[in-house]
Amino acid sequence: MRIGVIGCAGRMGRANLAQLLGTEGVELAGGTERPGHEAIGTDLGTLIGRDPVGILCTDDPSGLMTRAHAVIEFSTPAATTANAALAATHGCAHVIGTTALEPADRAALAEAARRTAIVWAPNMSLGTNLLIGLAEKVAATLGPEFDIEIVEM
């Protein structure tokens, strides 16, 4: 499977590059950053402190999606909604970890998801997802008279 990384120079993007480069059966399709980013033109292996892999960071998510079966994205809400529309156009699966999406952004993702597979998880941390699951169980047990909320600090 060919997978690309959008937002490849960020903390999560670099972690994804490292994981993809070490996973059997996965081919790195490429990585992108926003136009003007200092990582543009940098080899993706070098970007994560490894030997060069012969794939350079670009600012062309559409081009990446023509080569990839799927892309993983941690970027900004505006970029994510634009990239979701591109993914739908290209039939490229889109895994999104971008946070701070507003209702209009989520509606744009829902629209794009009518035409391609989209997974949106605004927090990929095991601890947070465990707490969310526990809060759902606690809320179901306590009932509607209790107000339960998880606040990230």
Q: 58-88: per-residue pLDDT in tens? A: 999 999 999 999 999 999 999 999 999 999 9
- CB neighbour list of residue 138: distance below 8 Å, 6 or more residues apart: 148
Q: Beta-strand (E) ranges in 13-55?
A: 27-32
Reported confidence tier of residue 152, pLDDT bands at 50, 70, 90: low
Q: 118-120 and 57-58: which strand pairing?
A: unpaired
Pair 84, 45 in one domain: yes
Pair 118, 128 in one domain: no
Burial 72-94 (b: 16+ CB within 10 A, else e): bbbbbbebbbbbbbbbbebebbb
Q: How many residues comprise the chain?
A: 153
- Which of 65, 72, 10 has its CA nearest to residue 38? 10
Pair 117, 129 in one domain: no
Q: Tens of pLDDT along 18-45?
A: 999 999 999 999 999 999 999 999 999 9
Pair 94, 136 in one domain: no
Token reading at 4: 């690309």
Pair 69, 130 in one domain: no
The answer to whether the pTM exceeds 0.75 is: yes
Question: Quick check: 18 and 47 in contact, CB under 8 A?
Answer: no
Count of the separate structural domains present in the chain: 2
Reported confidence tier of residue 130, pLDDT bands at 50, 70, 90: confident
Look up the domain containing 145 and give its range. 124-153
Mean of pLDDT values over 85-93: 98
User: Above pLDDT 70, what percent of the chain?
Assistant: 93
Pair 112, 136 in one domain: no
Pair 58, 70 in one domain: yes
Pair 77, 149 in one domain: no
